[in-house]
Amino acid sequence: MMKKPLPELLAPAGTPKALAAAIEGGADAVYFGGPAFNARMRAQNFTADTMRESIALCHAFGVRAYVTLNTLITDRELPAFLEAAREAVEAGADALIVADLGAAAALHRAMPDVELHASTQASGHAVAAAHELRSLGFSRMVLAREASAANMQKFAKDCGMETEIFVHGALCVSHSGQCLFSSLVGGRSGNRGECAQPCRLPDKSGRYPLSLKDLSLARHVPDLIDMGVHSLKIEGRLKSPEYVRDVVRIWRRLLDERRAATDAEMKELAAIFSRDGFTDGYFTERIGKDMLGVRRESDKEESRAAAPFTTLTRRIPLTMHFTMHEGLPVQLTVTASGKTVSVSSEPPVAARTAPMGEHDVREKLSRLGGTPYELTALTADIEEGLLIPVSRLNALRREALAALSAPRSPHTYPKINYTPPQIKGERVAHRTARFQHARQIPDEACAWFEHIYLPLAGFDPPADGVVLPAVIFDSERENVQRALTEAVKKGAKHALVGNIAHLSLALEAGLMPHGDFRLNVTNSEALAFLLAKGFADVLLSPELTLPQIRDIGGPTDAIVYGRIPLMTLEKCVGRELGGCEACHKDSLSLTDRRGERFPVLREAPHRSIIVNSRPTGMSDKRRELLGAGVCGGHFIFTTETKKAVLDVIAAYREGRPLSGPVRRI
């Protein structure tokens, strides 16, 4: 039986030195970001010059280079984003890692042959997502870190594109692309590469209920190979070169030997960096309290013991063939990393005393000090009685190595003259609302709101729409289909869809799909793509300012009231905070060190949704909303009583402020 091919080992690089360390460790590919539009803006990252030099170094070693452009993009940023993408491609990037659907649409239209990988920030967690992403030019998708082994295997088998998974490094407690905590509470957007990591902070009681241990699937290497996953990704663009070198080195060994890590190797990985060890809870579906961990002083002490990384010592195997015949140019052909170049010089002359032999040629041509090459084989076809000056032989060697190390011919593109899409349709003019429970809905709400939505698991009239779950893995799809069938029987006609993978579910059930804020729409390109796919209208990202909302236009709306969901957790927080009974009663909350209380809601079957401590409130800002084109408005009711709902409706009718602290758009 033939062995399955080994997956690509993909390493992080936050600096050129870390990139060299990744090559030293044995990476097949490296990913890194430029000075803008990448999801690790706190890393040193790469300038235009260091990007070009680093990509050339990667290619010299046969290593692929992927450039990250994986933040959300606003309309006014799209021209600069496209220029950054063009520069990365011309610097030699093998692929671009993109998260924003609109940015990908514009990029694919401008440069259709550029290889695109869908970032984990694109929130892809199901086969249907891959099917939709292909139309944007994506050839690879990074699957959500929360996927189980079974879901991972199904995705790799059925997605129709390359599958990339994270196998080692830090874990966000929220599904990637679905975290607004740092943005809406602290003003630093994780979707824009500026996450302040509030999940790593203690709560008021000193506990760390949201800080996860680092991921490691090193004990599952044979399973990953058998699944046919294309790329195994190590997290760590903020980590040191020593971390990159040493983690990659161990993973290289495990892959080459097609085996799982031993206890000793797991300890070695933990000594490099860990938070109370590692977890594989999502992969094995053992999701519990033992996934939590913080970085302790003892962990830091072990990391300090790593040998410093100074320079790249790995060498590139090189072969040479030297030809010297009377009356013909002298020729040197060199081959390394699949690339072959030939250089030539003037014909040789007759030797008066000491003709040049193979030993002389080998001695001069093997002087490779100061280069990344190591001579592994040299053949010579030398006619007797001839010679060339030693200086010319040395010059041939230098010329051949320079040609070998030269960047591959870049794919050049003219400067992109970006034209925004023409979007038909007007702003949503009616008010809509979602409620956590049917018991919260007063009779007055049915007259005040055009559409009322309830979570799919609790759908009941008087609602006429369902909110699809934030996450629907392939293993959950059939259950969701059955629930949608029941909701339609009860009168559901509309669906709030927050992930591109879920659109087909709504359409198959006969529901009118409306884009939820979880789609992270921050530009007109994303809106145009979603409308073309069949969405009736779209709720814009709550991270946008009023001027940015005004820039987009079209059939869109904005959240004007409510506690906006900040995190979507695969790991149930309720089990740690109050048990399943409290979770079902929606009586759970997290209180931070400042005393701010963040309610925790349950989403079936066992996910947690953390919502903001303060509701967004714009009841007294009608003029400002109209100035941004917001004439309808979407309302989110989570923990409110019926009376509180009535008070909110009254405040918006009368244009007066809400009582209590609020968040403004």
Cβ contact 103:523 at 8 Å: yes
Q: What is the Cα–Cα distance from 373 to 403, expressed in whole angstroms?
A: 13
What are the distances in angstroms from CA 58 to CA 343, 407, 556?
23, 10, 44
Instruction: Provide the CA 348 distance to its chain's centre, in angstroms.
Output: 57
Q: How far apart are the first and last CA of the chain?
A: 60
Across all residues in the chain, what is the average pLDDT? 95
Q: What is the mean pLDDT of residues 503-510?
A: 98
CA 581 – CA 592 distance, rounded (Å): 23
Q: Which two tokens stand for residue 22?
A: 């990744």
Residue 119: is its pLDDT beyond 70?
yes
Span 180-213, pLDDT tens digits: 999 999 999 999 989 999 999 999 999 999 999 9
Q: What's the rounded mean pLDDT across residues 444-451? A: 97
Please report the pLDDT score of residue 578 as a whole number. Answer: 67
Grade residue 580 by pLDDT with cuts at 50, 70 and 90. Answer: low
Per-residue pLDDT, 577: 74
Query: What's the rounded mean pLDDT across residues 570-598?
Result: 81
Higher-pLDDT residue of 62, 644: 644
The number of residues making up the chain comes to 665
- Check residue 255 and report its DSSP letter: H
Judged by average pLDDT, the poorest of 44-48, 80-84, 631-635 is 44-48
Q: Which residues of 125-144 are buried (b: 16+ CB within 10 A; e: fewer)?
A: bbbbbbbbbeebbbbbbbbb
In the chain, pLDDT over 70 holds for what percent of residues? 98
Average pLDDT over residues 341-362: 94
pLDDT at 413 over 90: no
> What is the Cα–Cα distance from 513 to 494, expressed in whole angstroms?
6
Q: Give the Cα separation of 170 and 648 in Å (integer).
A: 41
Q: What strands, in cross-sheet order, belong to the sheet with 538-539?
A: 556-557, 538-539, 512-515, 494-497, 465-467, 451-455, 432-435, 634-637, 559-562, 616-617
Model confidence at 369, pLDDT cuts 50, 70, 90, reads confident
Asked whether the predicted pLDDT for residue 409 surpasses 80, the reply is no
Higher pLDDT among residues 45 and 660, named by residue: 660
pLDDT band at 303 (very low <50, low <70, confident <90, very high): confident
**Helices 297-304 and 263-272, axial angle in degrees (round to 10):** 90
Map tokens 């009368």 to a residue. 654
Is pLDDT above 70 for 149? Answer: yes
Section 105-115 average pLDDT: 96
Phi, psi of 258 (to 5 degrees): 50, 50
User: Taking a C-beta distance cutoff of 8 angstroms, is the pair 297, 276 a contact?
Assistant: no
pLDDT score of 587 more than 80? no
The whole-number pLDDT of residue 35 equals 87
Tell me how far apart the alpha carbons of residues 9 and 23 are, in angstroms, rounded to a whole number.
11
